[in-house]
Amino acid sequence: MPSLAHFITTHILDQPNGCITFADYMEWALYHPVMGYYATRALDMGKKGDFVTASHLSEDFGQLLALQFVQMWNVLGKPQKFTLLEMGAGQGKVAYDILKFLGQHHDDLYSILDYAIIERSAQFVNLQQQVLRDFSVRWCSWDDFPPDSIVGCCFSNELVDAFPVHRLTIQNGELAELYVTVNRDGWSKLDQPHPVPSSLIHQFKDQIGPLSTPELGSYFSFVGINLPSLMYEDGYVTEVNLAALDWLEKIAVRMNYGYLLTIDYGHLSPQYYHPARCQGTLQCYYHHGHHPDPYRWVGQQDITCHVDFTALQRQGERWGLKTQGFTQQALFLMSLGLGDRLVALTTPNGDGNQSDLSDLNMILQRRDALQALINPMGLGNFKVLIQSKGVADDSLTWFSTDPVTPVRG
Ligand SMILES: C[S@@+](CC[C@H](N)C(=O)[O-])C[C@H]1O[C@@H](n2cnc3c(N)ncnc32)[C@H](O)[C@@H]1O
């Protein structure tokens, strides 16, 4: 079978203008059904793979999310059907920890729970079905949810950063798009442009062109950013995630009442599109290292971009979702009791009452994991956005506006 790079090259050469948008390139590199990153290497994510997510560190992450869902269910008046729709469930670890915890500690919610997953990668669906074989879970597509059908909470962790993005630049003071074209520089040495050997590392390069869709032009006024303007220099590079807007619309339309909880790394628009962030936020992950070159190791490395949380909030408002709150993961998890868990680890007669060395090792490992979840230089600086539809009561623990209610952690 030809390599993914060869497949993309052929596709580019078939285009009348000899280039494709970066979003199309990222789409193939990550989601080609056989050779894309999410069909191959991503399956190993975790300590063996290219990156870890919060769920790999400790089951506490899923358990604390479960506590948030219990609270949401209560605020909604304990509806007798409550859907938890997880989007982009990876190896199924978050789902496993949530379901196990609810089964053990919150049987009232567990017994009526409708746990659904929307997962794009067929290989991940297989893995999730093995990991979650002891639980009642259904794998769905968007078509399984008619308009106004969802009562509950739709949620994702590190999903939106994996959507294909458009890359934009400024040229002569005007907004332009960065397309992907084939790098012909190496071809003269090869004597034949076709087929292109997969050994060429930099088989692709950027090419500047006009915007591929007017939505890219209107995006910046939508999020309140004056771009282009004199504050931005020629050569400024950034990204726009139009797929995130489509995704949010899909959810909002299907939600009857309930919540949307999004966890990811990212910023509000003023930070995201700060003139000083002149090379954008695109990062690639390979063997726990990261770099900004999306044309290396095609299909073998993860490609991600930070999330513009202002865009999610504005798009939510456009489709009837109210922002309940926006904060850092560290504060979110602390308010759900992560601090209590840390304290209990070092308290005699708490979980911290170790009897032998192996217990002590486990306690130290768990303490490190809990600290990693709130590390302000790492996962703790991830952002959490909760939006709601048709919910009158704003009283989720972590977003209390009542100054006398302390953060539990
Ligand atoms: C970085 S992983 C995160 C996995 C998991 N949420 C976690 O915390 O470990 C991204 C996941 O989203 C899935 N995915 C990407 N785009 C998707 C889409 N449009 N719809 C559903 N799943 C998607 C990927 O296949 C993968 O399972």
The string of pLDDT tens digits covering residues 112-158 is: 999 999 999 999 999 999 999 999 999 999 999 999 999 999 999 99
pLDDT value at position 398?
Answer: 53
pLDDT at residue number 258? 97
CA distance 23 to 18: 15
The per-residue pLDDT for range 225-238, each reduced to its tens digit, is 999 999 999 999 99
| pLDDT of residue 5 exceeding 80 | yes
Residue 28 has pLDDT above 70, yes or no: yes
> 401: pLDDT confidence band, cut at 50, 70 and 90?
very low
Q: How far is the CA of 187 from the centre of ligand 1 (A)?
A: 37
Closest CA to 283 of 265, 267, 302, 298: 302
| Mean pLDDT estimate for the chain | 90
pLDDT at residue 167, as a whole number? 98
Distance of CA 143 to the CA centre of its chain: 22
Per residue in 36-51, pLDDT (tens digit) is 999 998 778 777 777 7
What is the edge-to-edge ordering of all strands in the sheet holding 150-157?
Answer: 137-139, 113-118, 82-87, 150-157, 255-264, 383-389, 322-328
Q: What is the 3-state secondary structure (H, E, C) of 49-117?
A: CCCCCHHHHCCHHHHHHHHHHHHHHHHCCCCCCEEEEEECCCCCHHHHHHHHHHHHHCHHHHCCEEEEE
The CA-atom distances, in angstroms, between 204 and each of 25, 295, 395 are 10, 6, 51
Longest dimension (CA), the chain: 75
Residue 244 CA, ligand 1 centroid: distance in Å: 13
pLDDT tens, position by position, 68-114: 999 999 999 999 999 999 999 999 999 999 999 999 999 999 999 99
| pLDDT band with cut points at 50, 70 and 90 for residue 405 | very low
What is the C-alpha separation between 302 and 296, in angstroms, rounded?
10
Checking DSSP bridges between strand 82-87 and strand 113-118, what pairing results, if any?
A: parallel
Give the model's pLDDT for residue 345: 86
Q: Is the Cβ atom of 38 under 6 angstroms away from ligand 1? A: yes
pLDDT at 16 over 50: yes
pLDDT in tens, 271-320: 999 999 999 999 999 988 899 999 999 999 999 999 999 999 999 999 99
Q: How far apart are CA 286 and CA 198, in angstroms?
A: 18
pLDDT band (50, 70, 90) for residue 201: low
CA 393 to centroid of ligand 1, rounded, Å: 30
Mean pLDDT for the stretch of residues 389-399: 72
Of the pLDDT bands very low, low, confident and very high (cuts 50, 70, 90), residue 193 is: very low
Enter the tokens of residue 42.
């991503």
Residues in the chain: 409
Distance 87 CA to ligand 1 centre (A): 7
Q: Does ligand 1 have an atom closer than 6 angstroms to the CB of 87?
A: yes
| In the chain, % of residues over pLDDT 90 | 79
Using alpha carbons only, how large is the chain's radius of gyration in Å?
Answer: 23
- Six-digit token pair at 64? 């604390």
User: Measuring CA to CA, which residue among 238, 292, 233, 299 is closest to residue 270?
Assistant: 238
CB of 158 sitting under 6 A from ligand 1: yes
Q: What is the pTM of this model?
A: 0.92
